[in-house]
Structure 1
Amino acid sequence: MAKILIAEDDRISQKLAVKIVEELGHTAFVSPNGKHAYESLMTNSGFDLLLTDIMMPEMDGRQLIQTLRGDQRFNNLPIIIMSAVVGLNDISNLLKLGATRFLAKPLERTELEDYITRCLCAEKPCHK
């Protein structure tokens, strides 16, 4: 079972992501914005994966990724971006910043499940 941090300010997307994470047998923690997510990661280094939106108050997803990738403690933390408001150049730039995967909103259950499984299996051997 993995600990997954979900940085998302939209309540509907939060609830859907939490439901999918928990149905996969993992534990979900929700942060309403990037700043809260960063503070959560700094005080609790036991997270196995970060799911984050881009457009959020206080600290957006881009700033969050940049800040995390600038700290070597988070070099290997898988980060999945969830967003509806980016184009191909934006996706490319987010991946260059250090995002592991990009997922378009609205969230699609099987795609999110697949991305979570792939990211977690890349960190540790998984048995399917």
Structure 2
Amino acid sequence: MNFFIFVSEQWLLFSILIALIFLLIIYEKDKGGKQLGPHELVSLINSEEAVLIDLRPLDEFRSGHISGAINIPHTKLNSRHVELQQHVDKIVVLADKYGQHSGSSGKLLSDLGYNVRRLNGGMVEWRDQNMPVVKGT
């Protein structure tokens, strides 16, 4: 009950707080590159406009990944991003398990000059859409 009294008495302050939270969510959502769905990713890969980086650990990568993906675990991206220099003219699409690491990794690559996108929902969404995966390395 005290919450509603506070909101009614401090409605301007509460409105500013809600607006700031909304802006923070928008900023965090887009800071690591725009998101794209599985079918958009397939189109980019088929047209050879994109390179796919799988940010999951090697054991998860080997258990099933998108064909043509390059495995660079998100914990090693800072030291291994030089491997991507040959793809600087392409769109770099980042995929991980759920999409939780692609934002910070995308920010790093964006700051280095790469055109970054993120697979919305990660590999979980990819599999939920019954998209193909390959096993091994």
Q: Please report the TM-score for the alignment, with normalisation by the length of structure 2.
A: 0.40
Q: Which has the higher contact order (CA 8 A, sep 6+)?
A: 2
**Higher percent of residues as strand:** 1
TM-score by length of 1: 0.42
State the structure with more CA Rg: 2
